[in-house]
Each structure stands twice: as structure tokens, then as C-alpha cells.
Structure 1
Amino acid sequence: MLDSPAPARKPVRVPLATEPLGVFGTLKAGRRNVLELIPEIATHAPIVSGRTGKRWHMVMDPEALKRILRDKVEDYPKSDVTKLILEPGIGKSMFVAEGQEWLWQRRAAAPVFSHRNVAALAPVMTAAADRAVARIAATMGRAVDVFDEMVTATFEVISDVTFSGGGGFDRDAIHRSIESYISQTAKVSLLDVIGAPTWLPRPSRMLAQSGVREMKRVADGAIDKRRAEGGPQIPDLLDLMMAGEDPKSGRRMTTAELRDNLLTFIVAGHETTALTLAWSLYLCAFDQSVQDKARAEAQAVLSERAATADDVMALPYIRSIVDEALRMYPPAAFLSRTAQADDALCGREVLRGDTVILPVYALHRHHKLWPDPDRFDPDRFAGGKPVERFAYLPFGDGPRICIGQNFALQEAVIILATLLSRFRFDPVQGRDPKPVMILTLRPEGGVWLKASAA
């Protein structure tokens, strides 16, 4: 009798819960890795409900997600826990604000991220890709943490397009403050688990206040200096935001509002794109046939130069790798809302005050929505194949879809294509990354690869 073939190895995956966790199990798992709160059944069921201190519902059904994110968006604002984590750092920026406060900011900022403005910022991305090539070339022959390299590249991009090269802007101070803020504020608290009132202080988040104050001080100083001295010839994000106004009310952002929104762009803009690039490189090293096909595309378009905005449309396979990496390892992999009105989702009663969770990680690996969901397959997105809209939410959806989506995708394709055209990336034995979510879905321990000349 012939032996059956061994199942194909698949990329690293989060071990989801197979038994009820209880209050203290929830706290332990949440502090270790928020995604371990998701039950395995969530990759098969449309909705999963329970009670851990307070009632909660995890929703994986695209129609129900459409209701939450678009049709009834005002009834499902960001959860109290989300606001507790984010407001100390980014205040009432459009990422956290609700209702009319959010709406006027969004209207004022929308033109900043127009196709024309995003394309005009691409030379900064191209220059960062070239510098990343030089750094990785210096590591050839030994293992390199490509996540760390991508954080460096994307932080260069976001700080340069925000504050034009950093005049009056302490890049290192901001970066240190961001890392301290994420590590100290994003861990789940027992008070969060049991649904304690938001006015009860969470000690770990209080400890992060000095780093937050420093981050705001540096940003305020850069904004005040720009107001006094003017900006560069080519407007950057700060100039565009300062010039922006709500077309209905004529309202413009104050220094504090500018700072909170710019810090949102800096925190979200570099972290999420760095993660997308690091996971994309891990997946390319995992499947060399995909990497070979991507390299052939990149070399045919680029030859020996770095990619530009004009090349993005000519790199569809590399874009499909980015899309698939965002499916398998979405940076914002676990979102939560607080119901403001009684409702029904998937035929299940939702009461005002219930926590409604959008486990994007489980949605993107749902067996009824994605064939063989744990397999890496960029061809899912090749050739403009239709994807059910609310089954794929790397940037959210509805009126609050990520305002920087096109910026992030352009940057990711430019940097990934440039790197794959120059190098072959191979895995380092015994150094698989571990997907752990603390605010974003990070590779714990880094993404260690070996680069060689392509």
C-alpha cells in the first residue's frame, strides 16, 4: 500500500482557542497575543458570542460586517477599550473621533491623500527603497532581520513626507516614544476584560504618559516651526494638512488637531507598511516559486533601478503578493466596536453596550470565504479576480476606510519590487517568525532571512 503524501507545509499561523478561556484565561491570552482570544470555530461560523465580564460577539459574516462598517456605522463606534489605548497618544484625531467631529476632519484631510498628492510623494519612497538596498547588500552572507530593516525604511518615508527631511524634527525621539507607547499601552488589562468603567485608571497605560508627552512635544515644536518659517517648495503632508479645510464649514485644524492627526499617520503609516513588507518577504522566502515569478516581473520592469510611482501598475504580481500578505497577516487583525443601539446580526440579538468584535484575522482565514485559507497563494488576487468586498478588510471599509490606503499600497509595491529585483531571500532554519498581535500583528522575534544577489 502506498503511503499518502505528507500535507504541504504552510506559513506560520496563530494557534486559535479551542476551549472557553474564562476571565483569567482571557486576560492571560490577551496579554500574550490578542489573536489567541479568537476561537478556532470563528474560521467556520458566521458569528460567535459569549460573555467574559460583558457580552461580546465576534462577527465574520460579510453581510453583517457591511451593516457594522457601512449601513449602521454610527451605531457601532470604536470600542471603549480601543479609545483607552489610543486616545492618550493620538487624542481626538480622525482615527478615534466619532460623529460630526470625525466627519469634518475627514472632509478636511481627504484631498491630502488624492491620487495626485500620493504620486507626488513617491520619490521619497523610491529613495528609501534605494537606501534599503544598500543596507541589505551590506548584510549578504549572514542573517538579517528584514522586519527591522522595513521599519527603518518606512519610518524614513513617513517622517520625510510628513516633516520634509526632518528639519526641526527629532526622528529618533519620536521613534523611541512610539515604541514605548505601543509596548506599555496596548496590553490588555483585567479592567478591560471585565468591562470596568473607562474612568478607572489602567496603571500600565499611566506609565506610558511620559513617552506620549515627549512625542507630542516634538511634533508641536515641528508644527510651530513650520508655521513660523514656511515649508519646502514641494508641499509635504504637514503643508497639505495645514492648508486643508472642511469644505462645508471652512474649519481648519488647530496645532493640537494637526499634531494628533500627524502622529496618527506616523504611528499607523510606518508600522503597518513595515509589517506588510516584512510578511511579504517572509512569504516570498517561504515559497521560492512565487519569489522567482515576482523577481522576473520586477527585473523586466525595473532593470537595475528602484521602482517609482509610474511602475506600480506594471507590477501586478508583486501587488498580488502584497494583497495576499495583507490577507494572511493583516496589521489591524482584531477590531472592536461598542453597540450604541439594540440590533440583530446574523439573526442574533445584540444589545446596547455589547462589544462587537471584527476578528479580521479569522475573517481572512474563513473556510467558507477562502479556499484552503492557510495556504499562501497570491493568485487569489491575480488578474483583477473579484473578492467579496466585506470578506477582505485589511484597511477596513465603509466611510471610515483607512484614508492612507493608496499611500500604503504604493509604498509597499515600490519597496518590495525594488528589493526582489536585487536580492534572493532565503529562510533561516529554526527562525520562523511568530505572529503576535499587540496593537498590530507583529512578527515576534523578527523576520530573519538571508539575502543573496539575485
Structure 2
Amino acid sequence: MTATPPSKQSPVKVPLVTDVWGVFKTLIEARKNVLSIIPELATLQPIISGRVAWVNWHMVMDPSAIQHILRDNLENYPKSDVVKNTLEPAIGDSLFIAEGAHWRWQRRAAAPVFSPRNIANLAPIMGASADASCARLGDGSPRIDMYAEMISATFDVISDITFSGSDVLDSDEVHRAIDNYIEQVGRVSIFDVIGLPTWIPRPSRVLQPSALKQTKAIANSAVRNRAASGPRNVPDLLDLLMAGEDLKTKRKMNASELRDNLLTFIVAGHETTALTLSWALYLCAFDPVVQDKLRAEAQNVLNGRTATAEDCANLTYTKQVLNETLRLYPPAALISRTAQSHDVLSDRDIKPKDTVMIPIYALHRHHALWDNPDEFNPDRFGEDARHDRFAFLPFGDGPRVCIAAQFAMTEAQIILATLISRYKFERIDGLNPKPVMVLTLRPEGGVQLKVSKV
């Protein structure tokens, strides 16, 4: 841990629970914001347990126990049925939700896609997106929603990287489809809370939004067309996925697996990075001293040009700011697993079918793991700073660590450094974002900032 000065004002946060709630109160609050049902005690204790109806649950904040869940005893803790039922209609049995052998071969086949070499080859698209964002910002404005702007910027990246600049995807249409889908199926159902079997239909998940069906049809069409036309001279994400092969079995993805994994990277790959950038810009506006230091680094390294992948090694403070942003506002702020057999976590008995959660939002603000945990301090991630590896999990860990973590960090560094070198971002009184989690931790109301050229 790195000590931070006391009595410093803290950025916006989610108020955690201090009272005991019944099942219906829990449901009502969870549908508004999943994080609002996390007890404040989760930032103080290594593990807390409870029971809702006939479902036993455990929230785990002990790094050694988390290592056990995510790495040492991974097979005992598959993703929860709630997570699978929520996401499967959108992304099928893809890499994100598959388990066991089906997950392992997909992981092996997709791993080369995100090699350092391929990330470097795709990085110019990230720089072009940063330039396009600057063009949209122009000379700035007294009020710009930087969350909406970052959604556009990161979708430009994923669209160009996926379809090589094709016009088959409309950014607003696809993001609207994702938004509608999450709003329709991503909120907690009373059936989930009381633990009814997953084969009982959840009313909000019976119908698939038509916009999502259209997006899946577009992805299917893209796979068919690429199979007919062959790969591009500079392979894009779709080419790399189609070429991917499990070295052990020589198996390649079929058309439906390609589509589902393509949609996984579109859905997860652009919004999570957009959220990180949006929250980072809010925090830079919140702390002008950090923003000035960040700008000094960016201007010194870039000297007026757009950031590249090669610059990332020298943009060290930029990475610190992004890591501290991910600590305070992790896009995937809650991990849910279902125990398959008896186990022990932090001296607590875990029974088969118990729900085991890692509340990453609370873990990242735990008082035993971080000094002044609610404060914004990028120096926590300085060269000499130390923290427990399993106390900081923005991308998960273990064999199922996010396969695109380095891709996302490279993209975020390139876009943030380019923007901050050219613009100043300031808060607007009374327009603070509100952290709200449905499936991801979003800024409700957007990130409204005053933007001016420097």
C-alpha cells in the first residue's frame, strides 16, 4: 500500500449498505444499481455471508481466498447461472461464458489474436480514433458529454479493427442495441434473488430485442462475406479469429462460434474501454493537479503528435492514472460464481450451489488493502508502489483473466494521452456523474465536462 495524504476530498462513489434489507428491498435496490446492495462491511472484512430466501451467498474480499477461486480451484467456481442466462442470448457459448474444455480450446485459438505483435499492428487505428475524437471536440465547448464521446471513439476502434473500416455497422445503432439489451435483460430478477431454477423463464429475458437480432445478423453476414472474399492484406480481428487454431486439437471456430466471439469483443471490447476513459477524464477534471502532471507527460512524450503503441512504455503516469481509475470504477465491478462442491474460503464453509461473489468495487476500496481507499491517488501505482496481486482485479486473474487486457490498456493510453495533450477538462457544478452498475459500471447522466483547447 502507498500512503496518501489524509482529509482529501473524494470523487463520487456508490453508497454501500449499512442496514439489513429483506428480499424485496434488496430486489428493488439491485434493479436500480447492483452495487448498492453491497454491505459497507465488505470494505472492512475478509468475507461476509448471508442468505436470501433459500440461497446462501458469500462475498469474498480476502486476496488469498480470491486466488483460490480464480486460479487454484477454478473448476469448482464456474460463472453463475445468472450471468450465463443474461449474456448467452447475445454472445452464445462464446469465450466469455463457456466452461471447461469448450472454453479451453476457444481460449487457445483466440490467444494469438491479442499478441503484442498484433496489438502493435492494430494500434494505428486507435491513434486515428483519437484524432477523430479531437476533430469532433474542435475548439471545445462549455459542456460536452465525454462518456458519449468516448463511446464513439472506442466504437470507431472496434469497428475498424473488426471490419476494416466497412460501413456495415452503424455505431449509434449497435450501441443502442447493446443498451436496450442490457436494460431489458441485465437487471436482477426476483427469480434470481430467491434462487429459482434457471430453466424457469425470467419475464424480462423471454424476448430478444429486435436491434440485437439485427446486430447478430450483421455479424453473420460479415463472417460469410469474409469467408468468401478471404483475409485482408493487413489482418483485422475477424481475419485473426478465422485463422485462429487450437494447437492441441487443430480445431478452428465454425461460423456461429466466430459470430458469437466477434459479438463478445464488440460488446465488451468497446464499452469497457469507453467507461475507463470516461471515468479517467472525470477524475482528471476532479483533480487538476493530476491532470496537469498527466498533460506534461503527454506533451513531453508526444511533442504535438498522436500517441502510438511505441509511446506506451514512456507514458508511465498515464498508465498510473488509468490503473487508479480502474481501481475506483472497475467496469466489471462484481464477479459471481456458483460453487460446485464443498470448499473452505477464509475459514468459512462453502456448500455446493452456494453463490460466491467477488465484489471488485468493494475489494478495490477495502480499508485493509488500500490506504484512504476512496481517494484518487495515481501514485498508488507508481514504480515503487506495492499491492497484493489479488487485491486489484480490473481484468480478473487466473486462467480466465481478460484475454484483451493489454489491447484495452494500449487503446486507453493512446486515446487518453492524445486527448489530454490537446485539451483541458473541467468539472461543471452540479453535474457529477453517478456510478450505477447494471452489467457494467456506468456514469449515469454521462460525464459532463467543460472542454477547452490548450
Query: Same fold per TM (> 0.5)?
Result: yes
Answering whether residue 337 of structure 2 is matched by residue 337 of structure 1, we say: yes
Q: What is the CA deviation profile of residues 118-142 of structure 1, one whole-angstrom value per residue up to 9, with x for unaligned ones?
A: 111000000000011111125x232
CA RMSD of aligned residues (A): 1.3
Secondary structure, aligned partner of 1:322:
helix
The residue type equivalent to 2:87 in the other structure is L
Q: State the Cα distance separating 1:385 from its structure 2 match.
A: 2.5
The residue type equivalent to 1:424 in the other structure is K
Q: 2:328 aligns to what?
A: 328
Q: State the Cα distance separating 1:384 from its structure 2 match.
A: 5.2
Q: Aligned pair in 2 of structure 1 residues 203, 60: CA closer, same or farther (>3 Å)?
A: same
The residue type equivalent to 1:116 in the other structure is R
Q: Aligned pair in 2 of structure 1 residues 430, 173: CA closer, same or farther (>3 Å)?
A: closer
Q: 1:122 aligns to what?
A: 123
Q: Aligned pair in 2 of structure 1 residues 384, 160: CA closer, same or farther (>3 Å)?
A: farther
8 Å Cα contact 1:88/1:209 also seen in 2: no
8 Å Cα contact 2:180/2:209 also seen in 1: no
Q: 2:443 aligns to what?
A: 443
Secondary structure, aligned partner of 2:383:
helix
Quote the Cα distance in structure 2 between the aligned partners of 1:321 and 1:208: 38
Answering whether residue 37 of structure 2 is matched by residue 37 of structure 1, we say: yes
Answering whether residue 281 of structure 2 is matched by residue 281 of structure 1, we say: yes
Quote the Cα distance in structure 2 between the aligned partners of 1:46 and 1:380: 21
Quote the Cα distance in structure 1 between the aligned partners of 2:189 and 2:125: 39
The residue type equivalent to 1:71 in the other structure is D
8 Å Cα contact 1:168/1:225 also seen in 2: no
8 Å Cα contact 1:50/1:56 also seen in 2: yes
Answering whether residue 81 of structure 2 is matched by residue 70 of structure 1, we say: no
Quote the Cα distance in structure 2 between the aligned partners of 1:307 and 1:205: 42
Secondary structure, aligned partner of 2:196:
coil
Secondary structure, aligned partner of 2:165:
helix
Q: State the Cα distance separating 1:209 from its structure 2 match.
A: 4.1
Q: Aligned pair in 2 of structure 1 residues 384, 414: CA closer, same or farther (>3 Å)?
A: farther
Q: What is the CA deviation profile of residues 324-365 of structure 1, one whole-angstrom value per residue up to 9, with x for unaligned ones?
A: 000000000011000001111100110000000010000000
The residue type equivalent to 2:294 in the other structure is A
Secondary structure, aligned partner of 1:452:
strand
Q: TM-score, normalised by structure 1?
A: 0.97
Q: State the Cα distance separating 1:167 from its structure 2 match.
A: 4.5
8 Å Cα contact 1:57/1:355 also seen in 2: yes
Quote the Cα distance in structure 2 between the aligned partners of 1:114 and 1:141: 39
Q: 1:83 aligns to what?
A: 84
Q: 1:423 aligns to what?
A: 423
Q: 1:354 aligns to what?
A: 354
Quote the Cα distance in structure 1 between the aligned partners of 2:138 and 2:384: 34
Secondary structure, aligned partner of 1:331:
coil
Q: TM-score, normalised by structure 2?
A: 0.97
Quote the Cα distance in structure 2 between the aligned partners of 1:290 and 1:396: 27
Correspondence list, 1:1-40, <5 A: 7-40=7-40
Q: 1:3 aligns to what?
A: none
Secondary structure, aligned partner of 1:409:
helix
Q: State the Cα distance separating 1:171 from its structure 2 match.
A: 4.3
Quote the Cα distance in structure 2 between the aligned partners of 1:30 and 1:84: 17
Q: 2:380 aligns to what?
A: 380
8 Å Cα contact 2:369/2:387 also seen in 1: no
Q: 2:313 aligns to what?
A: 313
Q: 1:240 aligns to what?
A: 240
Q: State the Cα distance separating 1:229 from its structure 2 match.
A: 1.4
Secondary structure, aligned partner of 2:141:
coil
Q: 1:293 aligns to what?
A: 293
Correspondence list, 1:167-246, <5 A: 167-246=167-246
Quote the Cα distance in structure 1 between the aligned partners of 2:138 and 2:172: 24
Structure 1 gaps, min length 5: 1-5
8 Å Cα contact 1:178/1:215 also seen in 2: no
Q: Alignment identity in percent?
A: 59
Structure 2 gaps, min length 5: 1-5
Q: What is the CA deviation profile of residues 371-407 of structure 1, one whole-angstrom value per residue up to 9, with x for unaligned ones?
A: 0000100000012533211000000000000000000
Q: Aligned pair in 2 of structure 1 residues 208, 230: CA closer, same or farther (>3 Å)?
A: same
When structure 1 is superposed on structure 2, of 375-384 and 249-258 the one drifting more is 375-384
Q: State the Cα distance separating 1:207 from its structure 2 match.
A: 3.2
Correspondence list, 1:85-164, <5 A: 85-138=86-139, 140-164=140-164
Secondary structure, aligned partner of 2:164:
helix
Q: State the Cα distance separating 1:84 from its structure 2 match.
A: 1.0
Correspondence list, 1:367-406, <5 A: 367-383=367-383, 385-406=385-406
8 Å Cα contact 2:76/2:341 also seen in 1: yes
Q: What is the CA deviation profile of residues 242-295 of structure 1, one whole-angstrom value per residue up to 9, with x for unaligned ones?
A: 001100000000110011111110111001000000000000000000000000
Aligned residues: 449
